[in-house]
Amino acid sequence: MDVYGALRELHQEKRKLDSAITALEASLRESTRGPAKRRGRKSMGSEERILVAERMRKYWEAKRMAASQAASVNGSPQPGGHLDGVSSPPATVA
């Protein structure tokens, strides 16, 4: 039995198998790779930004109206003029 010949044939077969494995792995990576996923916050277009700004303007206007109606019912404005009722600490004179 020619040991060197058998080794040479086995090495040739190994190279063919390595090549086939590499090709299969590459095709597997390509087929499983979908569209790249974006990370983080979605960017907002100018039209969407305008709509959000308008919606927030209406929200805060309604909030101010509710606060002013509550103040008129209570007879006095909220301390510090804040909508949430939190006033700033009094100024200290040094």
Would you say residue 66 lies in a domain? Answer: yes
Would you say residue 81 lies in a domain? Answer: no
Would you say residue 65 lies in a domain? Answer: yes
Per the prediction, the chain carries an average pLDDT of: 82
How many structural domains compose the chain?
A: 1
DSSP letter string, 13-54: HHHHHHHHHHHHHHHHHHHH--SPPP-SPPP--HHHHHHHHH
Domain that holds residue 53: 47-73
φ, ψ of residue 68 in degrees (nearest 5):
-70, -35
Quote the pTM value: 0.37
Tokens of 64: 């101010």
pLDDT at 82 over 60: no
pLDDT in tens, 19-60: 999 999 988 887 766 666 777 888 889 999 999 999 999 999
Q: Which residue's entry shows tokens 């109606």?
A: 69
Would you say residue 28 lies in a domain? Answer: no
Would you say residue 90 lies in a domain? Answer: no
Compute the distance between CA of residue 40 and CA of residue 42 in angstroms, rounded to an integer. Answer: 7
